[in-house]
Structure 1
């Protein structure tokens, strides 16, 4: 009896219309959160209140469906996304009126928008790729920090008297270089120092080449490579393994042999 009920919930979870409805509710939840940042009329506030109750209860129903439909309940909590969804849903059940946890509950309701990632596989691949790429990006970030530090020290020594606000010390110089790297009015900084040091353009050109071009392309290459690996893993999960293919071939051979034996008897 329970197994039949579980399979029914599993079919519901896999249903495309149900997934689309979940995504729609998440979008409505995001719009409802945004609407609360405006000055609303009492009627609108009442509508958002009841809408919030509906969204909370629906998310509770949806996470229950996913948990009950799981054949092995322990596997459900092996997924970080399932743990995140469960935490968001449980904390969303905290009453937000006249409670010391009101602020926390409101903040958690904002994070319900992130449930879109756990529902859409393509978004999960993007986030998982980014998380997998972080350890590899650490060395690039370290190398970039070294370049920043060297150029900030040079810039502070050379340009401190020209503009102490931008080059007063090494920390401020690093902030100025970050502005240069992001191309935020960096030419104004360059022309200001070129009035005293005409060849200072070499300082900026080499720094931009190292940071904005070389290191940025390294970061993109690492992320794209990891993303390709994650997509390959997802394809392997969806494709049958060699053992499964062999089992299917054996089943087909067995069925063919049964048919051959039946024809011989007839």
Structure 2
């Protein structure tokens, strides 16, 4: 029974069904943000939401029964369980804010769609490599913020009045948001301030941030290479199994050939040699 249920859960048709339920539930949760939609279809939206939650609960129970303790060894299963558990929490009284967390069910697409799983896995694998880049970026931001505060706190106090303000301003500039406006305001009294800001933008935007992209791309390539190796190993295992079956069939055929040679036809062979025709030939 468990084997059949496990096979049914792993079929593409079942996965497509779960994806459809997640998408429909996400749409209904989005419609609940519209007062007009709630006024017209509030009951229907609630019914669809409860049905989707029931499907998710049944799916998790079926997986727990089919996989047993192996269910809890898969991080994606734990991720799905956490999201569904949040949806089951009471939303009355002081916990009414948890009602908004139902939209987290949309994140289940990450665990259901293989391509999204690969992307998230690659991002998580890239976290150790990103740590050094984050430290480098933090160091650059801190040094630049101290310099900006000392140089321009009187010229532009709303941008560089103190260290926290300078940190936020430089982070904003690093994202490319209104950096030219900030620079031009400072340059009205410090014409050579563009040197500081251009160097900062070159280092942070075009160097450090691109390092993040390089680390993520490298992690995704490694993840793709590992998947290729696993696919090759699985294909090799299948080929070896088929080869073993072919060898067994050939061995069985070889065993049948001597048995056929020792059958009735082989046993009648000597009798025909001692028959009348043989004796006449011997008389001649």
TM-score interval, smaller chain: 0.7 to 0.9
The answer as to 2:54 corresponding to 1:57 is: yes
Residue 26 of structure 1 deviates from its aligned partner by: 0.2
The answer as to 2:250 corresponding to 1:256 is: yes
Equivalent of 2:77 in 54, 62, 82:
82
Choose 32-41 or 109-118, whichever is displaced more. Answer: 32-41
The answer as to 2:180 corresponding to 1:187 is: yes
Q: Which sections of structure 2, spanning at least 5 residues, go unmatched? A: 261-284
Q: Which sections of structure 1, spanning at least 5 residues, go unmatched? A: none
Q: 1:100 to 1:178 in 2, by over 3 A?
A: closer
| Number of matched pairs | 258
Choose 245-254 or 189-198, whichever is displaced more. Answer: 245-254
Which is richer in helix?
Answer: 2
When the two chains are superposed, the root-mean-square deviation of aligned CA atoms in Å is 2.2
The answer as to 2:25 corresponding to 1:32 is: no
Distance 1:109 1:82 in 2: 18
The corresponding residue for 1:233 is: 226
Residue 102 of structure 1 deviates from its aligned partner by: 4.1
Which structure has the greater CA radius of gyration?
A: 2
TM-score (norm 1): 0.88
TM-score (norm 2): 0.83
Query: Which of 1 and 2 has higher RCO (CA within 8 Å, sep 6+)?
Result: 1
Deviation per residue, 1:31-66 (Å, 9 max, x gap): 111111121455511111211221111111222232
CA contact (8 A) 2:31 2:38 kept: no
Distance 1:103 1:161 in 2: 44
Distance 1:148 1:234 in 2: 38
Q: How does 1:89-100 map to 2 (within 5 A)?
A: 89-96=84-91, 98=92
Distance 1:188 1:85 in 2: 45
Distance 1:111 1:49 in 2: 17
Choose 228-237 or 154-163, whichever is displaced more. Answer: 228-237
Q: 1:202 to 1:94 in 2, by over 3 A?
A: closer
